[in-house]
Structure 1
Amino acid sequence: MTVQPELKIDRIHHVAYRCKDAKETVNWYVDNLNMGFVLAIAEDKVPSTHEPDPYMHVFLDAGAGNVLAFFELPTKPEMGRDPNTPVWVQHIAFKVKDRDTLVAYKERLEANGIEVLGVTDHSIFHSIYFFDPNGHRIELACPDPAEEKMLEKLDAVKWEMLEEWSKTKRAPQHAAWLHAKELGKA
């Protein structure tokens, strides 16, 4: 009898997005977020589908074994985004060490002419938001000092919240305390 392996994801191997210009994208992530340029692959045929379609596939070190990748597709129509999804929904979030690091990134990005939104206090973490040269929204987040205690509180109500949402499609109030400070309710 063959023993079946446990079916469990180990980690994300890489996340891939489209870019307008591979070189510009690599340089932007290296210069602004200190990501290392890991590797590049360029071919004239798509390995999985065997379609003739030249592409440049670049990979960046996003820390802790995480890889962010991009495809430049010069023969395809100009890239766009889903017009039915608000711009704040689809984003890439990266964790930074602490608030000092977050603020230092904010200052660096702004000094490089990049418009930054935040620091936003989400109670369990704090974030800044900005866009890369391809129009992808990026979030940098750092943990709040009381993160562990608040995560336990959220963990205790996650299934109740999901169930209530699935029935009503209205925001359950189990975690309304998260943004109470920002809304002036704390």
Structure 2
Amino acid sequence: MKIDRIHHVAYRCKDAKETVLWYNKMLKMDFVLAIAEDQVPSTKEPDPYMHVFLDAGNGNVLAFFELPTKPPMGRDPNTPEWVQHIAYRVKDRAELLAFKDHLQANGVEVLGVTDHGAFHSIYFYDPNGHRVELACPDPEEEEMLRKLDAVKWDMLEEWSKTRRAPRHAAFLHAREFKQ
């Protein structure tokens, strides 16, 4: 048995239409499907919802639920905002910078470009407060990933014993990348 791929990833949204229009305009995702019910199919709970699906490229689907009868969305107060996010890969640095310019021109506050060694990222928030990351490969991505692959189990083992950041991959952030 083996998982084929992710079918979709679902998040909650404040307004389904606003969310679809934002992702279409800001990230160029196509709106592919909407499902609305007055009852949850799996639990049979009476609870109207709108479930929208967006094409995130290469068979990846991002979905949202608008739940008008539920209390407003909240966050886990024990998890920092930077932890939970949706990350998408873009072709290269030129495309990453084009998205950054596009987002900023449309009033979206963007953090970065951040150099992660194997890839570079920008960060911003969607209209629901979800953190979004766009990442592009570093020119040395393959070499960096090969090095990371060689130390992953040692890093995990050390972390599980010490709960301190192992230094096996310190090379990732050892350089300062110029924008």
TM-score clears 0.5: yes
Q: TM-score range by the shorter chain?
A: over 0.9
Structure 2 residue aligned with 1:115, among 94, 109, 112? 109
Matching of residue 152 in structure 1 with residue 164 in structure 2? no
* In 2: Cα distance, 1:39 partner to 1:157 partner: 42
* In 2: Cα distance, 1:11 partner to 1:77 partner: 32
* In 2: Cα distance, 1:101 partner to 1:53 partner: 41
Cα RMSD of the aligned pairs, angstroms, is 0.9
Structure 1 residue aligned with 2:158, among 159, 164, 179? 164
Matching of residue 64 in structure 1 with residue 58 in structure 2? yes
The alignment covers a number of residue pairs equal to: 177
Q: Deviations over 1:139-169 (max 9, x none)?
A: 0000011100110000000000000000000
* In 2: Cα distance, 1:111 partner to 1:67 partner: 26
TM (norm. structure 1) is 0.94
* In 1: Cα distance, 2:108 partner to 2:176 partner: 24
Instruction: State the SS of the aligned residue for 1:39.
Output: strand
Q: Deviations over 1:86-105 (max 9, x none)?
A: 00000000000000000000
State how 1:22-101 maps to structure 2 within 5 Å: 22-101=16-95
* In 2: Cα distance, 1:140 partner to 1:92 partner: 9
Instruction: State the SS of the aligned residue for 1:102.
Output: helix
* In 1: Cα distance, 2:39 partner to 2:3 partner: 29
Q: Deviations over 1:12-66 (max 9, x none)?
A: 0000000000000000000000000001000000000000000000000000000
* Runs of 4+ off more than 4 Å: none
* In 1: Cα distance, 2:95 partner to 2:44 partner: 44
* In 1: Cα distance, 2:10 partner to 2:173 partner: 31
Percent of residue pairs bearing the same amino acid type: 80
In structure 1, what residue type is equivalent to 2:135? A
* In 2: Cα distance, 1:164 partner to 1:123 partner: 21
* In 2: Cα distance, 1:116 partner to 1:180 partner: 24
Instruction: State the SS of the aligned residue for 1:79.
Output: coil
* In 2: Cα distance, 1:179 partner to 1:116 partner: 21
